[in-house]
Amino acid sequence: MTKDFKKTIAFLFFLLAGIVIGTVIGRLCAGISFLDWLSYTMSVGIDTGSPMVLDLIVFKLAFGFTLSVNTAQILCVIIALVVYNKTCKGL
């Protein structure tokens, strides 16, 4: 494996780990009063409940996409990128 491939795989691992851990923390903190700010979520996109539909008589194609980001995810991704920079300097 090349050096760039290893760095790319490590970057994707840290990024996905930050997103998943942030999602879990955000959902766990939703009911706790002093940690409720970690679960504040913003959603952007085309709602999947009422997607855009392309009707071509023969078939219908529905488009829908929603991106939801909470505060805990943002913080965990930042932490994950800092840890990536500290641990993957030698790769």
Task: List the domain range (segments joined by +) for residue 33.
Answer: 3-87
* DSSP 3-state of 74: helix
Report d(CA 23, CA 71) in Å as an integer. 9
Total domain count, the chain: 1
pLDDT digits (tens, 9 = 90+) for 4-40: 898 999 999 999 999 999 999 999 998 888 888 999 9
**28: alpha, beta or left? (left if phi > 0; alpha if psi -120 to 50):** alpha
pLDDT digits (tens, 9 = 90+) for 60-89: 888 888 899 999 999 999 999 999 999 987
